[in-house]
Amino acid sequence: MKDTFLWGGSTSAFQFEGGAKEGGKGMSFYDTISANAKAAAENTESWMGSNKTKDYSVTSDFYHHYEEDIQLMAEMGFRAFRMSIAWTRIFPDGDGEINPQGIAFYRNVFSLLKVNHIEPVVTLYHWDMPQSLIDRYHGWYGIETVNAFVRYAETCFREFGEYVRYWLTLNENNMTVMIPAFGTGMKMSKDDPAYESFKYTVYHHTNIAHFAAVKKCHEMIENAQIGCMFASALAYPLTSDPQDVLMARNHNQKLNYDYLDLLTRGRYTPKNTYEMNRAGFWISEEDQDLFADPNAIIDFISFSYYYSVCAGTEQNAADENAGTVQMMYQAMSNPRLKQSSFGWTIDPVGLRILMNDLYDRYQLPVMIVENGLGVKDDVLTEDGKVHDDYRISYLREHIRAVKAAVDEDHVECLGYLPWGCIDLYSASGDREKRYGFIYVDYDDDCRRYRKDSFFWYRNVIATNGKDLV
């Protein structure tokens, strides 16, 4: 592992930041959910589990605890911290007037990270669509939202470019073709004759936003590195039956590589193009030129990895206990792998396989920006301890896989930033499923406690991954 390897952790604004009604912040999609349970039921996709939604207005309250949290990260030796900017903290309505208080807040965060030698890795859009853009343009369905996003991205590059070198555009955007209505405020049945055209309109608009942001970043910030972020969906064939092999191949192509082929080559795959045209959707020459612009091609690939799945002719529905978007994969669990208490398979070798596949295929550096063990097993003892040996065991094996990919397979990897490094809310609003090295007591002013994994990870970083005991 190089001495420059970025050890750290990851969060997102709507799951971690809080301060929803402070500092001039406008209403996002998740603020609407917090304020209106009926809106949650109507606008939240089924995978979100509307029966689980809670109040996102405070979450882990990074807005008021950021100085303490950055000191805790520095104590662990973090070299990088992935976070997202809340679009509505910069533009309360998604467009219109800039909020100077929002600019000041993030400047304070980024400057403090830099003082502590922690590289910010900043996601521009982590699902928290401004409610005003949903109301006026149906979110990404309207090209006006794309224009608003480009202006928002330009503002971030201009205001924060002196602090931020590493940028990510849209979080897990490869999932858009599976849940296109999410964050649009629209109901669209797959049986509707207009569904396919609707799906590709939303997907294409997000891709215009991505390419335009990448190009602007390269033009505006010298030496910036900007990448995508996709939800990995690595599938193995359930058996050696050629039909199972074909199903696994098609699964990986559809959920992983169709998207990455576009972002790295500047054009949709022939199959994607055919499907779009069949749905009555055509790509303009202007958009084709943008996608093909060398300045609009990403510098690295970042991704989330929690588990692998299996594909086979005996396909079954996903585990209903796994309450996240990954339920959408509709795949099978691997009978040869153990599962976490949350029902997710534990497959560190799969992470090594994926890293190799990505690097061999695209010859771009990779960065793991989400990984980790989310469980409801954490217990805060009376003396303020959390004994999470199960998390240490999970992370140890996955870090070993990363090291093997780097040191033995010669994959170029920029960093390892596990998810929820400080406890945060799940996308479904579930605060009891915890990932962090730091426990957040939501019932006691979000007080922070170091878990056993905090001290373990501190030693991993200090030894640059050599000591994993």
Residue among 374, 372, 365, 361 at smallest CA distance from 399: 372
- Annotated active-site positions, please? 172, 370
Of 171-185, 313-327, 407-421, the least confident = 313-327
Contact 161, 221 (CB under 8 A): yes
C-alpha to C-alpha distance for 418 and 415, rounded to whole angstroms: 10
Residue 320 confidence (pLDDT): 45
Residue among 185, 188, 124 at smallest CA distance from 157: 124
C-alpha to C-alpha distance for 344 and 264, rounded to whole angstroms: 30
C-alpha to C-alpha distance for 457 and 465, rounded to whole angstroms: 9
Please compute, for residue 111, the number of CA atoms within 13 A of its CA located in the half-sphere on the CB side. Answer: 7
Q: What is the pLDDT of residues 360-388, one digit of tens each?
A: 999 999 999 999 999 999 999 999 999 99
Which positions ≥6 away from 60 have C-beta within 8 Å?
Answer: 11, 15, 16, 17, 18, 422, 423, 424, 425, 440, 442, 446
Per DSSP, the three-state class of 377 is coil
The model's pTM: 0.94
Residue with token string 């209505």: 181
**465 pLDDT above the threshold of 90:** yes
Residue type, 360: D
| Residue 353 token pair | 């396989």
**341 pLDDT above the threshold of 70:** yes
C-alpha to C-alpha distance for 212 and 154, rounded to whole angstroms: 10
Residue among 6, 27, 30, 33 at smallest CA distance from 16: 30
The domain segmentation of the chain, as residue ranges, is: 6-462
**273 pLDDT above the threshold of 60:** yes
Residue 51 confidence (pLDDT): 42
10 Å CB burial of residue 150 (0-12, 13-18, 19+) is middle
Query: What does the radius of gyration of the chain's CA atoms come to, in whole angstroms?
Result: 21
Q: Which residues pair with 170 in a beta bridge?
A: 125
CATH topology of domain 6-462: TIM Barrel (3.20.20)
C-alpha to C-alpha distance for 427 and 319, rounded to whole angstroms: 17
Residue 33 confidence (pLDDT): 85
C-alpha to C-alpha distance for 164 and 197, rounded to whole angstroms: 37
Q: What is the pLDDT of residues 224-265, one digit of tens each?
A: 999 999 999 899 999 999 999 999 999 999 999 999 999 999
**138 pLDDT above the threshold of 70:** yes
C-alpha to C-alpha distance for 268 and 204, rounded to whole angstroms: 10
C-alpha to C-alpha distance for 156 and 84, rounded to whole angstroms: 11
Give how far Cα 359 sits from Cα of 269, 300, 363, Å. Answer: 19, 10, 5
Q: What is the DSSP letter of 114?
A: H
Contact 139, 88 (CB under 8 A): no
C-alpha to C-alpha distance for 253 and 271, rounded to whole angstroms: 11
The count of residues in the chain is 469
Residue with token string 């870090």: 399
Per DSSP, the three-state class of 126 is coil
User: Distance of alpha carbon 301 from its chain centroid, rounded?
Assistant: 12
Mean pLDDT across the stretch 102-131? 98
229 phi and psi angles, rounded to 5 deg: -145, 120
Sequential DSSP letters for 24-51: T---BHHHHHHH-HHHHHHHS-GGG-GG
